[in-house]
Amino acid sequence: MGKHQEDEEKEEEKRDEEKEEEKEKEDEEKHDDKVIEVGDYSNMEAPSSLKTLCRYVETTLLPEDKILQFTIDKEVFGGERDTFLLPEDITQFAGMEEIGATVLAVYMRYLHDVLKQANMCSMVGFIDPATVSANSGTIADR
């Protein structure tokens, strides 16, 4: 192998290492953005329970890469099922951004519990947002 070829290989290795370092730096910046974003939510004017939830996302869910799991009882939508909230779901809710069907379903579960305590469940019925959302099957099935 000639000296010229060895030099080219070393330069190529150096470029690859620089690209990898850039990618790692970008990934760190993305993670830092998430943490700052959640921190901004915890500094806003909001109920203390919402601030506590945002702090939980910032200190526990994001660093440990966790999600929240909820069981929605059969009484709520007609069939028992588990659903999962991501940290992004919570920060979108806290930031008054557009929320998805999962967040609505968890909130409906909470409302059902409140109505149950007041003996008012017979007055309302809930439809699972996942079964009627735009991305769930055909229009006829909804």
Q: Which of 6-15, 35-44, 66-75 has the lowest mean pLDDT?
A: 35-44
Q: What is the mean pLDDT of residues 114-140?
A: 85
* pLDDT range class, residue 133, cuts 50, 70, 90: confident
Q: Which of 82, 76, 83 is nearest to 124 (CA)?
A: 76
User: Residue 42 is inside which H or E element, if any?
Assistant: helix 3-42
Q: What is the pLDDT of residues 111-122, one digit of tens each?
A: 999 999 999 999
Residue 84 φ/ψ, nearest 5 degrees: -130, 135
Domain parsing of the chain, residue ranges = 1-64, 67-142
pLDDT beyond 60 at 27: no
The answer to whether 108 and 95 have CB atoms below 8 angstroms apart is: no
Q: Kindly tell me the burial class for residue 49, based on how many C-beta atoms sit within 10 Å of its own C-beta (0-12, 13-18, 19 or more).
A: exposed
**Residue whose token pair is 């099957």:** 137
pLDDT beyond 60 at 22: yes
The pLDDT score that the predictor gives to residue 86 is: 95
